[in-house]
A and B are shown apart, each in its own frame.
Chain A
Amino acid sequence: MTKIPSPDSLIQDLSTKLSASLKEKQINNPMMVGIHTGGAWIAEQLHKNLNISEPLATLNISFYRDDFSRIGMHPQVTPSTLPNEIEGRHIILVDDVLQTGRTIRAAMNELFDYGRPASITLACLVERDGHELPIRADIAGLQLKLQNNEQIKLTGPEPLAFEIKQVEGQDQDNG
């Protein structure tokens, strides 16, 4: 099994990289959006580390999933908390694990229902193999290659930890 750094140290790395990237792109007033639930936990810390004044927004993509007709309604749905003014804003979209890209596809669809952002930067704690869509992280804490039947999951919020488990079949749903 692969040895993985702790989520907390990866968040520090991510903060540094993100901060540098924003400086380079000359983005002064970004809006940070964490994807429920793991992405929101990470975004909370990034938000603190980067001293972003505007409150953290969260996104719940349950209403935008592409597998509703397969698995139906998600029982635990927490609403998105997004201000209505995202028009023209530079958005930092934060998720825990990027794999297939389907979560990010859903998240971007939802964002565009709120308005037309100036840009979206995707920051992920872990980017692993298994992409199914042309979506890549702009900034990743860790690039990871796992076996096809392995799944990495962030547990939290206190403490944050990674859990790698073996999954059966191909019906896993990894963002």
Chain B
Amino acid sequence: MVNKNARATNPLLGQDHWNIQLDENGRLKHFLTIEGLGSEILTEILDTAENFTSVNNRTVKKVPLLRGKTITNLFFEASTRTRTTFELAAKRLSADVLNINISTSATSKGESLLDTLYNLQAMQTDMFVIRHQDSGAAHFAARHVAPYISVLNAGDGRHAHPTQAMLDMLTIRQKKGHDFSGLRVAIVGDILHSRVARSQIHALNTLNTGEIRVVAPRTLLPADIEKLGVKVHYNLQQGIQDADVVIMLRLQKERMQGAMLPSELEYYQQYGLTSETIKYAKPDAIVMHPGPINRGVEIESCVADGPQSVILEQVSNGIAVRMAVMSMTLGANAGAGTAQTGDDK
């Protein structure tokens, strides 16, 4: 279903932009995009994350796995959930965390991304977590940092947000079981600007989801979206008909230039998920949203807070998924210099 031959035209991404994620042993070294990763790796991320959820439910929410490692959060775009859950994930793995706030950093004095990275590298950072407004920024960093450093993409432009997609997959798996082949998943809203939607579609395809639908007005759909293996709907009621999972996306007004929508009210009337429109989905359908929610724009409060909503469980799962990816990538780097493997009893 997925068009694996589609090549990125973005020069920052390069030709083999998914291959640099894996080391020579096929282990995850960077986590930049879902594209190019097989179901085995995605399942390994989900299984590892599932186990970290038990740590997050303990009295002492900390394990010593990444003790002595330094993880730098480099956020060039505003974020609350993603940055704080990355920070908590690192701290619960006992790593030391640096949070670089770009608006008050030397970048605002004109330092380039590369100079920022090299300076933090000189402070013995082991991992960069990067959010950037440009698609491909995390790939760019992964290509240029020292070989022992891992890079995690926390959202780049309109391109990808792979940890968000994986926490969504974990939430779906917990609610609907390990087999996705019988599931009908509808992604509703601003697909055009959404890196989350793109990563979700790749992950759902790789995990062999039965049917993936995108639901949006024409102006908020990228051209050729069908090539990703999704069914396009312009009508909400038809789009979520008998869905098992309804994923609502935020209307990204800050990224909109020109008249893409007549008005928020009209959008809500046509595409808002309300206590009425939710009835078109299956009675046991779950409602998801990556946050932040615009109540009354894409979702009605009583649905966002209702019994079908798993929005806050997504947030909790975000910590576990980020712990999994951090420990897997830094684990792949482990022993890179000594190249030895242990034989576990």
Contacts and interface: CB of A to CB of B under 8 A. Distances in A.
B60 A63 contact: no
Given A63-B64, A113-B58, A113-B60, A74 B344 contact: yes
B65 A173 contact: no
Given A114-B60, A173-B342, 14 more contacts: A63-B63, A63-B65, A68-B65, A72-B27, A72-B330, A73-B331, A73-B332, A97-B345, A113-B62, A114-B59, A171-B343, A172-B342, A173-B345, A174-B345
Contacts of B342: 67, 70-71, 171-173
Interface of A: 38, 60, 63-64, 67-75, 77-81, 84, 97, 99, 109-110, 113-115, 151, 153, 167, 171-175
Contacts of B340: 70-71, 171
Ranked nearest first, the 4 interchain pairs of A and B with the lowest CB-CB distance are A72-B331, A73-B331, A63-B63, A72-B334
Contacts of A151: 343, 345
A84 B50 CA distance: 18
B331 A153 contact: no
Q: Max chain B CB contacts within 10 Å: which of A68, A78, A110?
A: A68
B64 A64 contact: yes
B42 interface: no
B47 A173 contact: no
B328 interface: yes
Contacts of A74: 344
Interface of B: 27, 44, 47-48, 50-51, 53-55, 58-60, 62-66, 68, 327-328, 330-335, 338, 340-345
Nearest to B343: A172
Nearest to A84: B59
Given A114-B58, A114-B60, A71 B341 contact: yes
Nearest to A165: B343
A78 B66 CA distance: 19
21 contacts: A38-B345, A60-B51, A63-B63, A68-B66, A68-B331, A68-B334, A70-B340, A72-B332, A73-B331, A75-B44, A79-B51, A97-B345, A113-B63, A171-B340, A171-B341, A171-B342, A171-B343, A172-B343, A173-B342, A174-B345, A175-B345
A52 to B, nearest CB: 22
A113 B343 CA distance: 27
Contacts of B332: 72-73
Contacts of A60: 51
Nearest to A72: B331
B48 A73 contact: yes
B51 A71 contact: no
Contacts of B59: 84, 113-115
Contacts of B53: 79
Contacts of B333: 72
Given A79-B51, A80-B54, A84-B58, A73 B345 contact: no
A173 B344 contact: yes
Nearest to A99: B345
B345 A153 contact: yes
Contacts of A153: 345
Contact of A77 (B47, B58, B60, B341): B47
B50 A64 contact: no
A163 to B, nearest CB: 10
B335 A72 contact: yes
A115 B47 CA distance: 26
Contact of B51 (A64, A77, A97, A113): A77
Contact of A71 (B44, B60, B62, B334): B334
Given A172-B343, A175-B345, A69 B334 contact: yes
